[in-house]
Amino acid sequence: MPFLRLDKNDSMLIVLDLQDGLYGLARDFDPTLYYNAMIAHAAIGKLFNLPVVLSTSAQEGPNGPLPKAILDM
């Protein structure tokens, strides 16, 4: 099978469960680095002008909402 490059015109970004309450619970990762990685992951959609699907387990649940920084993108 030949190698095919990804084409941004046939791509989308899915952001799953990157909620405010989760980065504060990270114990094996510095919470600030984890938060910055979450924001960087979500920013890929804006950078490459990709459609983005956002999903949470429950916007009003125990993990909290998606970070405002992601929603404002």
pLDDT value of residue 24:
67
Distance CA 1, CA 38 (A): 33
pLDDT value of residue 32:
82
Q: Which residues contact 42 (CB under 8 A, 6 or more apart)?
A: 13, 15, 18, 52, 69, 70, 73
pLDDT value of residue 54:
81
Provide the residue-wise pLDDT of the chain in tens; the chain has 73 residues: 898 888 889 999 888 777 777 766 767 778 788 888 888 888 998 899 999 888 877 767 777 777 888 888 8
Q: Can you give the residue ranges of every domain in the chain?
A: 8-59
Cα→Cα distances 5→2, 10, 50, 62, Å: 10, 11, 16, 40
65 and 20 Cβ atoms separated by less than 8 Å: yes
